[in-house]
Structure 1
């Protein structure tokens, strides 16, 4: 009997917590997120030896590059703590952010993210040592945490826009979707200086704003719709500078353009359709710039050297991304 009553008490307490979470979703998601991040951070920092991954130990500590890395991180007074967040690709990201792209194969690591790290590290530098590795790593860790948090909230808003929030079941679905993104299998990599957390935040936020534009269109808010379409395109473009597969988000605008063209071809000609089509085309161009921009920068660096130009420069569509993946990786 006591066990049955205990279960009923626990069930009642859980139902209250569940109901309170649905009525205060942002507060609940925020609390869950930072509690999870705190626990994950304790696991990372408390891991014995080199931490959850040993890739940083591949950098020889007594070479010129390795000695510089150790000394730079040591200036913070917590070298082992910060180094435990610098693993795998993080080593490349913070090094490129510090001194730019030195080797061709480093272009596999998103141009937008390394530039963002460099700019933020310079803006928040307090030591007078602009773009030091320790400063870049610290900025990268903070940026990843904030970006992951933004992506959780954006996913909640996106799910509500797509599936609605009229019933408790729909509210619960949106809340559960965002909650699962908090405990993503990516784990510690969403806390380390990686491009993925920022890419995720930009891309999901772009989808959220795009879905909001769709809802505005349904109620006749044309100006608000157009502004949101352009904002979502900018977010997709910036995301594409971080990871080239962000260009796939442009399919949304290609699909919308096809629908507008079908309307025009079927005789449903109107100024509103033309206006919407123009906004869609501009939005698609903006997204494409996220791919073209870094490619152009790489082209000017490697394809304007005359006889010393790289092989990929002469291709029909010269792409350093495609070359690096095929030739080096």
Structure 2
């Protein structure tokens, strides 16, 4: 069996195992998180409550409760604005695939779950093609793809209607577009990647970081002849940067228009830069610099430590192969840089991405989300 088919077979088998574990465990015991069972009472009076408990509730956990509620009623609470609208819209649209009258939350959740698992099934294959482009080694790419199948998020976030599977697939498609040597994409690499990154950002706000790959591809990938050429490259990529980050910007504009233009307004509306996202993350989710550094959160740091250590090891492995001076010159003054190994040049933007994410996870985020971000396209540290 060819390697791509083997990856798809293993990924499909693991999808079946994950879905079976979620479904069977929900039927055999009272879940620790009962949100999936009780959220039905907040939904519109449509569908069959018994069908919801039996079929949909096993896949409605943690943040998915917000996604389903927003799909039913819209963004009714300010804290919901922490979530990008991609998954909310998908759950809402999923219901149109059934012929019944009225919005049926059970059908919507099941269809969205099926689409999430389809994306999760394809992710490892896309990662295989990407790593093979980096390394030129089928064996390394195959092992990376198999490891991604068993990512920490695979049994939960990748099996339920959450943003992670879709963010993963569209991030990988964007990476592949920029890395591809296909003649079909000649002249269209950055536009294609920008659209893929925009779709990924529609699902997760940290997709903003993906715009950095467009900047790297335009201004750093090949050595600029001079500082002025470097600046011209940066200016030329601005339209595609705007495409990439547009879902987040438009969502912030929508939030401002909805909450800040009449009646009682939220405190963030009068800020110098009125962004709902940063205010809500800080106020409702207690996200901020070193806020998570408390004794009570030590178990969460331990829980996330395998992912964090893998990221740190990837960074150490890469930097140990190069002089720090050359790496700094490559990033800070690319027109004066010394040549890097061809493979290292391809991998360096991913290394920078991992470094930034590691700093954010350690210093400013709920550190345990490292387990959810550890998906085939979420944290590309397979080098």
Q: Pick the TM interval, shorter chain.
A: 0.7 to 0.9
> Which structure is richer in relative contact order (CA contacts within 8 A, separation 6 or more)?
2
The structure-2 alpha-carbon separation of the partners of 1:39 and 1:295, relative to structure 1 and needing over 3 Å to count, comes to same
The structure-2 alpha-carbon separation of the partners of 1:206 and 1:50, relative to structure 1 and needing over 3 Å to count, comes to farther
Pairing of 1:11-90 with structure 2 (within 5 A): 20=1, 24-47=2-25, 48-51=28-31, 53-56=32-35, 59=38, 64-65=41-42, 72-74=47-49, 77=51, 79-90=53-64
Q: Tell me which of 133, 140, 146 is aligned to 1:173.
A: 140
Q: Is 1:240 aligned with 2:201?
A: yes
Q: CA offset at residue 264 of structure 1? A: 6.5
1:58-82 deviations in Å (ceiling 9; x for gaps)? 7377xx527x68x73536x473233
Q: Is 1:163 aligned with 2:135?
A: yes
The residue aligned with 2:73 is 99
Q: CA offset at residue 194 of structure 1? A: 0.9
Contact 2:158/2:165, CA 8 A, preserved across alignment: yes
Q: CA offset at residue 175 of structure 1? A: 1.0
Distance between the aligned counterparts of 1:319 and 1:106, measured in 2?
14
Gaps of 5+ in 1: 1-19, 165-169
Q: Is 1:316 aligned with 2:316?
A: no
Q: CA offset at residue 230 of structure 1? A: 0.7
Distance between the aligned counterparts of 2:55 and 2:210, measured in 1?
37
1:83-105 deviations in Å (ceiling 9; x for gaps)? 11111111111111122100111
Tell me which structure has the larger Cα radius of gyration.
1
Contact 1:117/1:136, CA 8 A, preserved across alignment: yes
Distance between the aligned counterparts of 1:60 and 1:141, measured in 2?
17
Distance between the aligned counterparts of 1:287 and 1:324, measured in 2?
23
Distance between the aligned counterparts of 1:78 and 1:290, measured in 2?
32
The structure-2 alpha-carbon separation of the partners of 1:298 and 1:50, relative to structure 1 and needing over 3 Å to count, comes to same
**Which one has a larger percent helix, Structure 1 or Structure 2?**
1
Q: Tell me which of 281, 288, 295 is aligned to 1:325.
A: 281
Q: CA offset at residue 38 of structure 1? A: 1.4
The structure-2 alpha-carbon separation of the partners of 1:50 and 1:82, relative to structure 1 and needing over 3 Å to count, comes to farther
Pairing of 1:126-165 with structure 2 (within 5 A): 126-130=99-103, 132-164=104-136
Contact 1:239/1:290, CA 8 A, preserved across alignment: no
The structure-2 alpha-carbon separation of the partners of 1:109 and 1:266, relative to structure 1 and needing over 3 Å to count, comes to closer
Instruction: Give the secondary structure class of the aligned counterpart of 2:151.
Output: coil
Contact 2:124/2:148, CA 8 A, preserved across alignment: yes
Distance between the aligned counterparts of 2:261 and 2:228, measured in 1?
49
Distance between the aligned counterparts of 1:191 and 1:267, measured in 2?
48
Instruction: Give the secondary structure class of the aligned counterpart of 2:207.
Output: helix
Distance between the aligned counterparts of 2:178 and 2:131, measured in 1?
12
| TM-score (ref. length: structure 1) | 0.77
Distance between the aligned counterparts of 1:93 and 1:230, measured in 2?
30
Distance between the aligned counterparts of 2:52 and 2:243, measured in 1?
42
Distance between the aligned counterparts of 1:92 and 1:266, measured in 2?
48
The residue aligned with 1:252 is 213
The structure-2 alpha-carbon separation of the partners of 1:200 and 1:73, relative to structure 1 and needing over 3 Å to count, comes to farther
Contact 1:257/1:281, CA 8 A, preserved across alignment: no
Aligned residues: 282
Contact 1:94/1:193, CA 8 A, preserved across alignment: no
Q: CA offset at residue 279 of structure 1? A: 5.6
Distance between the aligned counterparts of 1:40 and 1:160, measured in 2?
27
Q: Is 1:229 aligned with 2:202?
A: no
1:184-204 deviations in Å (ceiling 9; x for gaps)? 111232111111111111112
Q: CA offset at residue 141 of structure 1? A: 0.7
